[in-house]
Amino acid sequence: MLKIPSFEIDHLRLKPGLYVSRKDEVSYETVTTFDIRMKRPYREDVMDTGAMHALEHICAAYMRNDELWGSKILYFGPMGCRTGFYLLVVGDIGTEEILPLIERTFDFASDYEGEIPGATPIECGYCVDMDLEGAKAHAALYYNLLIDAKKENFNYPKKRQKKEKP
Ligand SMILES: [Zn+2]
């Protein structure tokens, strides 16, 4: 099997942040995949499924309703390792460009009140696993991280140079 590019990132040196994971050409359009990395791998606890699930519903609903970006959002969903989310957007887009949307989204989620969008048995496959308070806490932490983010939170760690054989 070929190695998937996202497995080539050194996760031991990866900081939480916002990264361009990949860009794919799909029938005359570029699709940009963003790595919304909320937790530092192996240094911080991963998120619980209930908190991630609630965040997924709230953030996806918010982004799809955004006037500027809504029609370009292809997919927003959790990473299996529970350290963050992937966001797929139509267009050749950089982190500076998408950052305001991500900030708005997590700011919105951080003090969300009321019914979680789509959290009914008809609309969702396991709507009993929802933790709104957890979702809000993780959203607030990530929002604050973005506000104070530095270059290193937007650029993947450089690849380790393989030692050359003598
Ligand atoms: Zn669901």
Summarize pLDDT for 138-150 with one digit per residue, the tens.
Answer: 999 999 999 999 9
pLDDT given for residue 3 in this prediction: 73
pLDDT given for residue 113 in this prediction: 97
Instruction: Report if residue 5 sits inside a domain.
Output: no
pLDDT given for residue 47 in this prediction: 98
pLDDT given for residue 1 in this prediction: 76
Instruction: Report if residue 91 sits inside a domain.
Output: yes
Instruction: Report if residue 9 sits inside a domain.
Output: no
pLDDT given for residue 159 in this prediction: 75
- Which tens digit of pLDDT belongs to each residue from 72-104? 999 999 999 999 999 999 999 999 999 999 999
**Which residue in the block uniquely carries the two structure tokens 């969702």?**
124
The pTM (predicted TM-score) of the whole model is: 0.92
What separation in Å is there between the alpha carbon of 54 and the centre of ligand 1?
8
Q: Are 35 and 86 in contact (CB under 8 A)?
A: yes
Q: Which value, in Å, is the radius of gyration of the alpha carbons in the chain?
A: 17
pLDDT given for residue 133 in this prediction: 98
Instruction: Report if residue 154 sits inside a domain.
Output: no
SS3 86: strand
Q: Which residues surround ligand 1, an ion (CB under 5 A)?
A: 124
pLDDT given for residue 165 in this prediction: 64
pLDDT given for residue 6 in this prediction: 72
What separation in Å is there between the alpha carbon of 70 and the centre of ligand 1?
19
Beta bridge partners of 90: 31
Instruction: Report if residue 71 sits inside a domain.
Output: yes
Instruction: Report if residue 24 sits inside a domain.
Output: yes
Instruction: Report if residue 157 sits inside a domain.
Output: no
What separation in Å is there between the alpha carbon of 120 and the centre of ligand 1?
8
Instruction: Report if residue 166 sits inside a domain.
Output: no
Specify the number of domains making up the chain. Answer: 1
Q: Are 62 and 109 in contact (CB under 8 A)?
A: yes
What separation in Å is there between the alpha carbon of 118 and the centre of ligand 1?
7
CATH of residue 114's domain is: 3.30.1360.80
Q: Which letter does DSSP use for residue 137 in this model?
A: H
Domain containing 35 equals: 14-149
pLDDT given for residue 31 in this prediction: 97
- Dist. CA 62–CA 19, nearest whole Å: 20
What pLDDT tens digit does each residue of the chain (166 aa) get?
Answer: 777 767 788 999 999 999 999 999 999 999 999 999 999 999 999 999 999 999 999 999 999 999 999 999 999 999 999 999 999 999 999 999 999 999 999 999 999 999 999 999 999 999 999 999 999 999 999 999 999 999 999 999 987 666 666 6
What separation in Å is there between the alpha carbon of 113 and the centre of ligand 1?
17
What separation in Å is there between the alpha carbon of 55 and the centre of ligand 1?
10
What separation in Å is there between the alpha carbon of 85 and the centre of ligand 1?
14
